Copies of this chain bind each other. A is one copy, B any other.
Amino acid sequence: MDRKINLAVIGTGRMGSVHVRNVARLVPEANLVAICDIRLEAAQPLAEELGIPRVVKDYHELLADKSIEAVLIATSTDTHDFIVRDAAQAGKHIFCEKPLALDLKKINDALAAVKSAGVKLQVGFNRRFDKSFRKVHEVVASGEIGRPCIFRITNRDPDFPAIEFMRVSGGMFLDMTIHDFDMVRFLSGSEAEEIYTMGAILVDPEIGRAGDVDTCVVTMRLANGALATIDNSRKAVYGYDQRVEVFGSAGMVAVLNRTPDTHVHFAANGVHSATPLYFFLERYADAYVAEMQEFVRCVQAGATPPVTGRDGLVPVIMGLAATRSLKEGRPVRLDEIR
């Protein structure tokens, strides 16, 4: 085994604490040496539970610690860009939750800092590490379905996030659809050229007052000629609906939802089975572990992580194009977004 990596986690909120537990328990190649949160009272019990030796309130303390080789950034979105910049300048390898920022200039500045420091950066597009989506990626890449013609993604959340989150999230396209934009890029190995969006407020009028939509259909044309269609909803009462399908000239490969159990109940009034796994923490539990294992392996091996800075940048551009398409009621070319 390669030597262990000393790693610290910055941000121990919902996503951060998932990462902390995963690294502590299931990434033996990493020493989780410290965690950081401006709300010390959140970080402290987590550190005790897992035997993490150090808890700090200010991430600069960790960046100043020469023994720490890598940081995982899971703070709120509006802080990602400058923590990435600071961490890069401190020479730390970086795993950063998505999105890097909602603003292209901030992202570009952060990426420039990463580049000039020569550190590794991996962006948290966790779905690429899901076994089913990886399998689709493999099948497409193998050529088994021929030339990809249509990418079709369904991504529906089981329930609305808190309205405060929605106000700062950048809107549906930068918060939810961004995962699908990443997935289209991951599966196609190509880039979107043009995006057209229809959106609607059908479930909760509150969303509209916050300036967002709760339902959308996005259509894209890719550089390789293929088409893509994505549908999203903020509220699927039957649970987290996460499906992908790639149709090609020689076949189709699709991913179905996963369920918490596989029971089937045959009754006089129908056949009943379980709804999909409730939400991302359940559905992508394995993927969150796998992405961290991969990040640590890349740091150990000096390899380029599989989700790069550019992979963090482009989906934001796509989200901005989708947003503009919605506002202007017309297809928007990606090169219009700067």
Whether A202 is near chain B, meaning CB under 8 Å from some CB there, is yes
Please report the C-alpha to C-alpha distance between residue A262 and residue B132 in the assembled complex, in whole angstroms.
Answer: 6
Query: Is A231's CB under 8 angstroms from B233's CB?
Result: no
Please report the C-alpha to C-alpha distance between residue A253 and residue B267 in the assembled complex, in whole angstroms.
Answer: 8
For the complex formed, measure the closest distance between the CB of A27 and the CB atoms of chain B, giving whole angstroms.
11
Query: Is A262's CB under 8 angstroms from B255's CB?
Result: yes
Whether A189 is near chain B, meaning CB under 8 Å from some CB there, is no
| Given A262-B255, A265-B139, also A227-B249 (CB < 8 A) | no
| Given A215-B150, A217-B227, also A253-B263 (CB < 8 A) | yes
For A115, list chain B residues within 8 Å (CB): none
| Given A26-B25, A231-B150, also A249-B219 (CB < 8 A) | no
Please report the C-alpha to C-alpha distance between residue A216 and residue B236 in the assembled complex, in whole angstroms.
Answer: 27
Please report the C-alpha to C-alpha distance between residue A292 and residue B258 in the assembled complex, in whole angstroms.
Answer: 25
Report which of B134, B238, B257, B268 forms a contact with A237, defined as CB distance below 8 A.
Answer: B268
Please report the C-alpha to C-alpha distance between residue A156 and residue B149 in the assembled complex, in whole angstroms.
Answer: 12
Query: Is B150's CB under 8 angstroms from A233's CB?
Result: yes
Query: Is A150's CB under 8 angstroms from B217's CB?
Result: yes
Query: Is B253's CB under 8 angstroms from A238's CB?
Result: no
Q: Which of A34-42, A86-94, A270-278 contacts the other chain?
A: A270-278
Query: Is A247's CB under 8 angstroms from B263's CB?
Result: no
| Given A149-B215, A198-B196, also A251-B265 (CB < 8 A) | yes
For A247, list chain B residues within 8 Å (CB): 156, 231, 233, 236
For A267, list chain B residues within 8 Å (CB): 144-145, 237-238, 250-251, 275
For A329, list chain B residues within 8 Å (CB): 331
Whether A254 is near chain B, meaning CB under 8 Å from some CB there, is yes
Query: Is B238's CB under 8 angstroms from A268's CB?
Result: yes
For the complex formed, measure the closest distance between the CB of A176 and the CB atoms of chain B, giving whole angstroms.
14
Render A179-200 as a binary contact track against B, CB cut-off 8 A, 1 for contact: 0000000000000001010111
For the complex formed, measure the closest distance between the CB of A114 and the CB atoms of chain B, giving whole angstroms.
32
Whether A52 is near chain B, meaning CB under 8 Å from some CB there, is no
Query: Is A225's CB under 8 angstroms from B200's CB?
Result: yes
Whether A221 is near chain B, meaning CB under 8 Å from some CB there, is yes
Query: Is B274's CB under 8 angstroms from A263's CB?
Result: no
Render A127-157 as a binary contact track against B, CB cut-off 8 A, 1 for contact: 0000110111001000011110110101010
| Given A198-B227, A275-B268, also A235-B249 (CB < 8 A) | yes
Whether A164 is near chain B, meaning CB under 8 Å from some CB there, is no
Please report the C-alpha to C-alpha distance between residue A125 and residue B83 in the assembled complex, in whole angstroms.
Answer: 49
7 more A-B contacts (CB under 8 A) besides A236-B266, A238-B252? A145-B265, A200-B226, A200-B227, A217-B228, A237-B268, A267-B275, A271-B272
- Which residues of A are at the interface with B, using a C-beta cutoff of 8 A? 25-26, 28, 49, 131-132, 134-136, 139, 144-147, 149-150, 152, 154, 156, 194, 196, 198-200, 202-203, 215-217, 219-221, 225-229, 231, 233, 235-238, 241, 247, 249-258, 260-275, 329-331
Pick 12 A–B contacts, CB within 8 A, sort by A: A135-B263, A147-B203, A202-B226, A202-B249, A227-B231, A238-B267, A238-B268, A241-B252, A251-B266, A253-B266, A255-B261, A268-B275
